[in-house]
Amino acid sequence: MTSDRESGAHPLGDVDRLVHEPARLLILSQLYVIKACDFLFMQKQTGLTKGNLSSHLTKLEDAGYVEIIKEFAGKRPRTLLRLTPSGRQAFSNHVASLREWMANVPNQP
């Protein structure tokens, strides 16, 4: 068996770039630790603007990582966000890749 270095493959080569983007990583991290939240809560927690958050959520929804549910809380419309099983898996895989990569980084420069 050859190591990644010997085979030329970089451990971060197959990183999911959709997940790796900082704002989206923040959104996925937030959704990973809760069951669901609405748009406003996510905006408060991430500090992203409405437009920015909306654009990242659309990308994550298109990839099947986030489920966006429209519902009513009383008379107010609410946009509920939830991580899908494949989103959870993608986040876990990404974390595993980063861990593997960090494990190979020497402590001393």
Partner 1 sequence: MSSNLESVLGRLESSSYRLSVDHGLIDILVGTVLVAFGLMLHADLGYMPVIVFFVGATAYPSARRRLIDPRIGHVRLHADRVAEIKAWKWLTFGVLLTAIFGVLALRALGWIDYPESAVPMIVTGCLALALAIAAWLFGIWRGFVWAAILFAGGVIEWRFGLANGLSWYFSGGLVVLAGLLMLARFMRANPPDAGDTDDV
Contact residues toward partner 1 (CB under 8 A) are 29-30, 32-45, 50, 53-54, 57-58, 61, 68, 70, 73-74, 76-80, 95, 98-99, 102-103
Given the complex with partner 1, which of 43 and 84 has the nearer CB atom?
43
CB-wise, 1 or 103, nearer to partner 1? 103
- Per DSSP, the three-state class of 82 is strand
Shortest Å, Cβ 23 to partner 1 = 14
Give 1 or 70: the residue with its C-beta nearer to partner 1: 70
> What's the closest the beta carbon of residue 29 comes to partner 1, in angstroms?
6
Q: Cβ neighbours of residue 12 under 8 Å, at least 6 residues apart? A: 97, 101
Tokens, residue 17: 């770039």
CB–CB of 99/60 below 8 Å?
A: no
Question: Which of 79, 70, 91, 86 is closest to 24 using CA atoms?
Answer: 91
CB of 86 to partner 1, least distance (A): 18
Tokens of 43: 């905006």
